[in-house]
Structure 1
Amino acid sequence: MRIRSALLVLLAAVAFLAPVPIARAATSIDLSVPVRAEPSGAAVSLDTTVVMPAGSGRHPVVLLAHGFGGSKDSVRPQASSLVDGGFVVITYSARGFGKSGGNIHLDDPDYEVADARAVISAVLASSAASRITLDKPGDPRLGVVGGSYGGALALMLAATDPRVDTVVASITWNDLAQAFFPDHAGTSIAASPGAAPSGGVTGPLKQQWASLFFLGQVGGTTDSTTGTTDPCGRFDPTICAGFLSASSSGQPSAQLLAMLRAHSPAAFLSRLKVPTFLVQGMNDTLFGVDQADATARTLAAQGTPVAMRWMDGGHDGTSSTQAGDEQAQVTWLQHYLLGDAATVPAFVFADPLGRRQSTATLQRASGASYVDAATWRDQPIDGATKTIISPPGGLPVSNTLLPQAASLGTSLPTYSLAALPGLSAAYDTPAFAAQTKIVGAPRLKLTVRSTGPVSTLFLSVWTVNGDTATLARSLVAPIRVSGATGQPHTVDVSLPAATWTFPAGTSLRVLVTPTDSTFANSTVARADSVSISQLQLPQVASTALPVAGAGGVDRESLGVGLAIAALLVVFGLWAWRDRRAVLPADASVADVPLVVSGLTQTFKDGHRAVDDVSWRAERGQILGLLGPNGAGKTTTLRMVLGLIRPDAGQTRILGDQVVPGAAVLGRVGALVEGPGFLPHLTGRANLQAYWAATGRSATEAHYDEALAVAALADAIDRPVRSYSQGMRQRLGIAQAMLGLPEVLILDEPTNGLDPPQIAAMRPILQEYAAGGRTVIVSSHLLAEVEQTCTHIVVMNAGRVVTTGPVAELIANSDTTVLEVASLDGLDALRAVPDVEVSVVSDTEVVVTSSLPRASVVAAAVGAGMAVTGVSSRKHLEDVFLGMIAASSSASDMSPDALRRIRAR
C-alpha cells in the first residue's frame, strides 16, 4: 500500500508540474475555395482555413502546405507556432487529400500549383484580408512554407507567383524523376558539399518507396454497381498508369519521366528570385541531401539568396533537433517578412549523434556560401579489382536499408545481411590516425568491366572497428553503368551525402553490391569486375552553435524537466518493485554451472506444467533430460533460459539468478525449438549475423570450432534454404556452440541426423564437456542418451521422478532382466512377495527385487513363465519405462502407451 500511495502522489505531482498550454485567442475562418475542374469535368473545391493572431492588427501571411498523405489538419501544430510568431496562416487540404475534392496530380503546375495561387486569391477576397499586411493593393507580404510534397509545391509556387516574398522548403525534391530513379554516377560532380553527378542515366526504381509513396494512397475505390476495385484510388489515371507500369517492370516510360520532371522545382528554378531556405534530412532514403544541393546550386548561380540546413531527420525518422529546426524557419520568416534583425546562417548541419546523445550538435559553417563550403581531402583506399556476381532472378538480395526505419540500421548488426559472399565487394581505407569528420558526399572513381550490357550497383559507407562493420548512415548510392561490356569503363560516383564521424583507429569501408532490397533489381545474371580509386572526402570548417535556451531558466521547460524527473521516479519505483525478487549471487554455487530449485509453472487454464522441479548439473557432465509428452521438459528449459518467468522457484547459472535478460545468460548457448535461420543467407553468413547480434568481438566466436561441428564442407557457403533438415540441425548446434559457452542446452539435437551423423556428434559433445563445460540434452533417443550422457533427469507429469548417473541407474544389483517366450504367468510373478515387474516388451520383463538372482529366476519359472535368457544389466529404456510406470497414475500401462515418449 505504501508503494501504491507513493505512486499516486508522484502521478499527481506530474499532473501538477506538467506545463499548461497558454490560451491564445487566435481567430480563424473556414473557406471552400473553388479551383480548376478535373479533366473529367468534375468540380473541385479545396477545404481551407485561415488562422489569425489575436487582436485586430495586420500581419504578414504564410501559406502552409502539407506533406503527401496529409491534410490541413496535419499541419495544425506548425500553424499554431507560426501564428504565435506573428503571422496570419493559411492552411488547406490539397486536391485529392482530406476533405478537398479532385484527384492527386502530383504537384502538377496546372493543378496543385495553380490551386495554391487560387487559394491565396480567395483569402485576399475574404474577410481575412483585413488582417493581412499588403505591400501594395492585391500584393500581400507573403511567405510559403511546405515539407516534402508541400515543399516542392512551395518552391514552384514561389517561382510562378510574384506575390510570394520568401519560401521555406524542407525534405523535398529537386527532380522527381531523379529522386525515384536515382543514379549517382556520371561524368562530372559539382564542388558543393552534397552534389551528385550530372549526366547520369536513369537509375533503378526505388521500388519500396514507390509503393509507400504512391500505392499507399491507392485506397482501392470500389464501384458499388460492379463490385470491382479501382486500383488508382484518388490518383489521376494518367499518373497512376505510369507508376503502375514502372512498379511492375522496374523501368520508367519516357512519358513518366517527362511528367515527373515537369512536376519538379528544377523546371522552375530559373524563375525563383525570392530568398529561399532549404531544410533537408540526412535520415532520408526518399529525398536525399543531393536533391536540396541541386536546388541550392541553381539558386546560388543565378544570385537568389539561399540558405541550407541539414538535420538528422527526414522521411525515415524524426530530427533530434526538431524544435531548433522549426525555430530556424520562424526566424527566417520573421527576418524577411517582419524585418527582424536575426537571420539564419548560410549553412548549418547536424553532427552524427554520439552514443550518449539524444540531441545532435549543430554546426555553423564558417563560409558565407553553402555551395563553396567544402574542401576535399584525398584519402587512400584499397581499391583492387574484385568480381561481383549479380544473381539470376535478382535473388538473394542484399538487405542494407528499410524505408521509414532506416535509423535502425545504424544500431543493428546488418553487415552480414548486406555483404553476401560472392555478391559483394568491400574496399577499406587505412585506419584513421585521428578522428575524422566528413560533411557531404564522398566521391570516387569506379571502374567496371562486365559480362552484361548494363551494370546496376549499390554503394554504401560503413565504419569498420576491428572485426565489426556498422552502417555509418542508412543510405545507399545506386549507379547504373553502360558501355562496360568486355572492357573497363570508369565513372565518377558520389556516395550518399551526410555528416559522418570516424573515430581514431577505425576505417571507412565502401561496400559495393549488385542488389538492394529497397530497389527494383536486375534479374539477369552477370559478372562485374569492379575497382575504385581517387576517393575524396569533403570537409567543412565550422563552429558549434550554442544550445537553444542555454541563456536562462524557462519556466515551461523547468516544468517539463520536473515532470520528467517525477515520471522517472515513478517508473524507477515500479521497476524496483519488479526487480526486488531478484536475489543476490549465491557464492556457495558460484562454480556450479546450473542449479534448478523448486521451479513451478501453472498455465492460465489451471494446468500445472511444472511442479516443484529441482536438479543440478555439474561441470564436465552431459545431462539428459527425459520424459514422455507433457512431462514439462520444454517448459522447464524455457524457464532455465529466462524465456518465461516461473511462478515459484529459481534457476541459478554459476551462482547468478536467471531472469529475462540476465547478463549470465551470455555464458549459455542454446538450441531450443529451432534456430530460426534466414533462408536466403549462407550458413556462414547466418552464423556471423547471429554472433554480430551479441555485440561481442568476432575473435571470441571460435568460428573454426563451430564450423567443424557443423561439418558442412563447401555447403557452409550455400544459402540455408538449400539445406536438408539434418544440415540445418548441425548448423543450429554449431550456432549454439559459438563462443564456446560454459553451459550448452540442446533440445532434440539429433533431429534430422542420420545414424553416422548421430555417432559423430557423440564424441563432440563428450569432448566439449570434458573441458569443464556442461551440456544439457533433451532427447527421445534413449539408446543414444545412454551412450552419450553421464547423468539423467527423468520427469513425468511435471515432476522429477529420479536423477542420477546413467551407469548407476542401469547397473543396480537388485535388477534382473528376463527374456521370456511370452507374458504367460506375469500376474503370478507379480504376486510373489518383494518382487516388482516392469514389462519392456512381449518378450522382455525387468524384475526388481532384493532376492538373489537365482531365486528371481526360480520364481519366474514357478509362476509359469518360459524364461529364455537372463541379464543383470538394464538398458536405459528399461529404467525409463519402469520409472514412468511406477510414477504414473494413468490407467493405460501397456507397453505401447509407455513408449509414447518425446522430448517435449
Structure 2
Amino acid sequence: MGNPRKALRTTAVGAVSATLIAGTALGLAPAAQAAPAAVRFVDITGDGGTVLKANVVMPANADASRAYPLIVLPTSWGLPQVEYLAQAQKLADSGYVVVSYNVRGFWQSGGEIEVAGPPDIADASKVIDWALANTPSDARNIGMAGVSYGAGISLLAAAHDKRVKAVASLSGWADLIDSIYSGRTQHSQAAALLNGAGQITGRPSTELQQIFKDFFASNLSKEQELIAWGKKRSPSTYVDQLNKNGAAVLLANGWGDTIFPPNQYAEFYEQLTGPKRLEYRPGDHATAEVTGLFGLPNDVWTDTSRWFDHYLKGVDNGIDREQPVQLKSRSTGGYEGYPDWKSVGATRKKIALAGSTTIRANVNSGADGGIIFLSSILDQLGRLPPVASVPLLPRRYAAVWQSEKYASAQQVRGTTKLHTTLTSTKESGTLVAYLYDVGPLGLGKLVSNAPYTFHGQTPGKPFGVDLELFSTAYDVPAGHRLALVVDTVDPLYIEHNPTGAQLTFSSPAADQSYVSVPLREQ
C-alpha cells in the first residue's frame, strides 16, 4: 500500500489553504459589504456555561408588542459568526428575528470542537432559550438553518427540540460515517480538509484528535468506536424523533459534494414522514450556496426563504404544492420535479460485465475522481468533469467494460449500482469504480464514482461485491457509450491494497456481474 500519511499531509496543506481562502470570501467579505447597523453582537451562554459568540438581526422598526418568527443559524465548520449576515439581513427585512452564532470550539466561542455532539445539540436549544427571553421571538414559529456543519446541527437540534418547526439543511449530512467512510474507505482529502481547518480555526477536543489519528492510520481495531462516534452525530440515527416532532425539513446538496456525498441525503429523505423537500444541484460542498452568502441572487437561499415563509409564517407561496424532489441536471442546468426519490431513476438499464478480468493493485491507472472542490466546481461552472482517455487506460491496472453506442440521449438520474464477483490474492484490498460518458474519440467524462474496501477475505476465494456509486443527474449524448472502469488507487481515498495484490473480476453463470444505470423516462 502507498504512504497515505505523506499524501494526507500534502492534501491537508492545500485543503486548509483553500478553506482559509473560502472562509475569508464566504464569511468576512459578505460582512464587510452587508453588515447592517441593526446587527447586535451578543454573548450567549451555551451548554455547561460555554460562551457562544452570536449576532442578532431584527426586522427594521420592530414592534416590541408583537412576536416575530425566529430563525437560528449555526455557523459552518471553521467560519466565524459573520458568515450569514447578508442572508440574515434579508430574512430580517422580510419579518424574522435572526440569531446566528459561532458553534463551540471555533473562533471566539468557548469550548472545544465536539463535531455536532451532545453539547452542540444542547447549545442550539440554549440559543433558542436566549432568543425567546431577549428578543420579540414567537415561540410557536422557530426555524433553524445552516450550511455544512450548521446544516447537520440544525437537523440534530430539530430531532431533540420539538420547538423547531422548520429546518433548511444545506450541504449537510444525514449519516456522518457514510459521508467520510463510505464503502469502508477513508475519504482522505475530505477528512484532511476538515481536520486542517479545525486545527487552524478552532480547538479540537482530545476525543476528536484521537478520532482523526485512528482514521488516518487505518486503525481497524478502532473501527467500531468510530462508527459509534459517528452514529451519535448522525441525524439518521434520530429520524424517528424528528418525525415525531413533525418539523418541515428542506434538504439541499450538490451532486459533486466531496465532503458529504449526495446518497446519504436521499436515503434520509425517504425516511422522513413530515413535510419535506429534497434539492440537488451541480457543484461541490457548499458551492451552490456561496453566492447567497454575498447577498446575491441564489436559488438555494430563495427556496430556503420560501420554505420558512410557508411553514413559519403561513404564506401560501405554493412551495408545498410543487414536486418535492427537485433536481438540476449537470448537463442541461434545467430543473426537474419528481414526487419522490424512488421515481428519479424509474427505469434501469443493465450493462453486462462479461468475462474474467485481472488487474494489479497499487498503481493509479489514470482514472480518478478528481481533486476535492476544484473538479466539481469546474463541472458546476463549465460542465468540465474529470476526464480520462478510456482506450488508453492500461488494462494491467484498470478493468474496463463498455456499453453499445446509444442511438438516443440517455438521461442518467439517481444511483448507479455495481454487482460483481471479486477474487483477491490478499485478504484486504480497495477498488474504486467509475462510470464514464465516452465520446467518439474515446474521451471519457466522469459521471460518477465510489470506493469499496474489504478486509478479512480468504485469498483466492471469490466473494460478491455490491456498490452504490454516488448519485447524480447527467445526460449522455446520442452516439456516446457508457463505460465502467475499476482500478485500485484514487487520490480522494486511502487505499488498502497490500504490495503485489491482484484483483480478478468474474461473472459466474449463476450470478452474473453487471452495472445497473438509473435512467429518466423519456
Is 1:34 equivalent to 2:45 in the alignment? Answer: yes
Among 384, 390, 397, the residue aligned to 2:355:
384
How many angstroms does 1:316 deviate by?
7.3
1:498 and 2:472 equivalent? yes
Match of 1:426 in 2: 400
Which whole-Å deviations, capped at 9, do the CAs of 1:833-880 have from their partners, x for residues lacking one? xxxxxxxxxxxxxxxxxxxxxxxxxxxxxxxxxxxxxxxxxxxxxxxx
1:305 matched to 2:278: no
Question: What corresponds to 1:364 in structure 2?
Answer: 337
The correspondence for 1:125, drawn from 133, 154, 164, is 133
Indicate the residue corresponding to 1:292 in structure 2.
265
Q: Which residue of 2 aligns with 1:84?
A: 93
Query: Is it true that 1:415 corresponds to 2:388 in the alignment?
Result: yes
Q: Distance in 2 between matches of 1:371 and 1:477?
A: 20
Alignment match, 1:236: 205
Q: Which residue of 1 aligns with 2:370?
A: 401
1:781-820 mapped onto 2 (5 Å cutoff): none
| Aligned counterpart, 2:345 | 374
From 181, 187, 200, the equivalent of 1:219 is 200
1:250 positional shift: 6.2
- Give 1:421 shift: 4.5
How far apart are residue 426 of structure 1 and its match?
Answer: 1.2
> Does the C-alpha gap of structure 1 residues 484 and 425 become closer, same or farther in structure 2, counting only changes over 3 Å?
farther
Residue identity matched to 1:141: N
Displacement of 1:374: 3.3
Question: Which of 427, 433, 438 lines up with 1:464 in the alignment?
Answer: 438
Correspondence for 2:284: 314
Instruction: Judge conservation of contact 1:443–1:494 (CA < 8 Å) in 2.
Output: yes
The correspondence for 1:341, drawn from 316, 320, 329, is 316
Aligned partner of residue 517 in structure 1, secondary structure: coil
Please, what is the CA RMSD of the aligned residues?
A: 2.8
Superposition deviation, residue 420 in structure 1? 4.7
Contact 2:367/2:485 (<8 A) preserved:
no
Aligned positions of 1:243-282 closer than 5 A:
243-249=212-218, 251=220, 252-272=222-242, 273-282=246-255
**Inter-CA distance 60–541: structure 2 relative to 1 (3 Å threshold):** farther
Match of 1:49 among 49, 55, 72: 55
Counterparts of 1:513 and 1:502, CA distance in 2: 23
Distance 1:316 1:168, change over 3 A: closer
Distance 2:38 2:251 in 1: 30
Change (3 A) 1:140 1:315: same
Question: Displacement, 1:26?
Answer: 7.1
Secondary structure of the structure 2 residue equivalent to 1:116: helix
| Cα distance in 1, alignment partners of residues 331 and 238 from structure 2 | 36
Q: In structure 2, what is the Cα distance between the partners aligned to 1:47 and 1:485? A: 55
- Whether contact under 8 Å (1:296, 1:308) holds in the other structure is yes
C-alpha separation between the residues in 1 aligned to 2:301 and 2:311?
A: 16
The 1:540/1:320 distance shift into structure 2, 3 A limit, reads farther
Residues 167-194 of structure 1 deviation map (CA, whole Å, 9 limit, x = unaligned): 11111111111211111xxxxxxxxxxx
Q: Which moved more, 1:426-435 or 1:395-404?
A: 395-404
Q: Which residue of 2 aligns with 1:350?
A: 328
Q: CA deviation at 1:397?
A: 8.1
Q: 1:422 to 1:253 in 2, by over 3 A?
A: same
| Aligned equivalents of 1:275, 1:93: Cα separation in 2 | 24
Alpha carbons 1:24, 1:54 under 8 Å: kept: no
Is 2:162 aligned against 1:162? Answer: yes
Alignment partners' CA distance in 2, 1:326 and 1:530: 46
For the Cα contact (< 8 Å) 1:283–1:316, is it kept in 2?
A: no
Which 5+ residue runs of structure 1 have no aligned equivalent?
Answer: 1-20, 38-42, 134-138, 184-202, 221-232, 355-359, 543-904
- In 2, the alpha carbon distance for the partners of 1:397 and 1:484 equals 29
Runs of 4+ in structure 1 deviating by more than 6 angstroms, as ranges, are 21-26, 319-322, 394-397
- Give the secondary structure class of the aligned counterpart of 1:384: coil
- 2:452 maps to 479
Change (3 A) 1:23 1:237: closer
Q: What residue number does 2:149 align with? A: 149
Distance 1:413 1:477, change over 3 A: closer
Q: Deviations over 1:17-75 (max 9, x none)?
A: xxxx99998733332112234xxxxx520011111111234321111122111122111
SS in 1 for 2:90: helix
How many residues end up aligned between the 2 structures?
464
1:620-657 per-position Cα deviation (integer Å, ceiling 9, x unaligned): xxxxxxxxxxxxxxxxxxxxxxxxxxxxxxxxxxxxxx
Q: Say which is worse superposed, 111-120 or 462-471, in terms of deviation.
A: 462-471
Q: CA deviation at 1:280?
A: 1.3
Secondary structure at the counterpart of residue 245 of structure 1: helix
How many Å separate the matches in 2 of 1:317 and 1:116? Answer: 25
SS of 1:458's equivalent in the other structure is: strand
What residue in structure 1 maps to residue 12 of structure 2? Answer: none
Question: CA offset at residue 379 of structure 1?
Answer: 3.0
2:92 aligned counterpart, secondary structure: helix
1:481/1:385 CA distance change after superposition, 3 Å: farther
What amino acid is aligned across from residue 314 of structure 2 in structure 1? Answer: G
Counterpart residue number, 1:114:
122
C-alpha deviations, 1:453-501, integer Å up to 9, x for none?
233211111111123323334x421112454632322232222201010
Specify the SS of the correspondent of 2:330.
Answer: coil
State the Cα distance separating 1:411 from its structure 2 match.
Answer: 2.9
CA 1:349–1:504 in 2, change beyond 3 Å: closer, same or farther? same
Which deviations, in whole Å up to 9, do the C-alpha atoms of 1:230-249 show, x marking residues without a partner? xxx61011111121222133
C-alpha separation in 2, matches of 1:106 and 1:363: 34
Structure 2 gaps, min length 5: 1-31, 293-297, 508-512
Rg: which structure is higher?
1
Structure-2 residue corresponding to 1:178: 178
Q: CA–CA distance in 2 between the matches of 1:339 and 1:86? A: 13
Q: Distance in 2 between matches of 1:380 and 1:96?
A: 49
Aligned partners of 2:515 and 2:449: how far apart in 1?
A: 16
- For residues 92 and 142 of structure 1, the distance between their equivalents in structure 2, rounded to whole angstroms, comes to 15
The question of whether the paired residues in 2 share the 8 Å contact of 1:425 and 1:511 is answered with yes
Distance 2:517 2:289 in 1: 25
2:495 maps to which residue? 521
Q: Which secondary structure does the structure 1 equivalent of 2:182 belong to? A: coil
Aligned partner of 1:828 in structure 2 is none
What SS does structure 2 have at the residue aligned with 1:27? coil
Cα deviation, 1:107-151, whole Å, max 9, x if unaligned, reads 002x1110111011012111x1x3x23xxxxx3410111121111
Is 2:158 aligned against 1:210? no
In structure 1, the partner of 2:301 is 326
Considering Cα pairs closer than 8 Å and 6+ residues apart, tell me whether 1 or 2 has the greater RCO.
2
Partner residue, 2:13: none
Give me the whole-angstrom Cα distance separating, in 2, the residues matched to 1:521 and 1:316.
27
Other-structure match for 2:83: 74
Deviation at 1:353, TM superposition (A): 3.6
Partner amino acid, structure 2, of 1:403: I
Instruction: Give the distance between the partners of 1:317 and 1:91, measured in 2 at CA.
Output: 20
Partner Cα separation in structure 1 for residue 57 and residue 485 of structure 2: 51
Change (3 A) 1:115 1:454: same
Distance in 2 (CA, whole Å) between partners of 1:211 and 1:500 is 29
Asked whether the 8 Å contact 1:313–1:319 carries over to 2, the reply is: no
Q: Contact 1:398–1:420 at 8 Å: present in 2 too?
A: no
Q: Which amino acid aligns with 1:164?
A: V
The answer to whether the 8 Å contact 1:463/1:471 transfers is yes
